[in-house]
């Protein structure tokens, strides 16, 4: 998910794009997985206030439980 920090009361964060998920099988403790993502158009007020979050979800769970979340500045 890509979002903009607008810092406004009532609209502090505005989601700009939700990216399609990538399914990755079980990762070993010492294993590293590399990937990239792009967004076609970001309609934002200030690109310096655009950030992202990557959610690690359980795909086999019908509710897509979030196991971890990573903030990207």
Where does the pLDDT of residue 51 fall: very low under 50, low under 70, confident under 90, or very high at 90 and above?
confident
pTM of the model: 0.63
pLDDT digits (tens, 9 = 90+) for 23-34: 777 778 888 877
pLDDT digits (tens, 9 = 90+) for 59-71: 777 887 888 888 8
Write down how long the chain is.
73
């Amino acid at each position: 998910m890509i979002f903009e920090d607008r810092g406004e009361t009532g609209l502090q964060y505005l989601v700009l794009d939700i990216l399609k998920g990538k399914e990755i099988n079980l990762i070993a403790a010492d294993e590293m997985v590399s990937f990239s993502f792009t967004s076609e158009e970001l309609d934002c007020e200030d690109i310096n206030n655009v950030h992202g979050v990557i959610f690690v979800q359980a795909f086999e769970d019908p509710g897509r439980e979030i196991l971890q979340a990573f903030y990207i500045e």
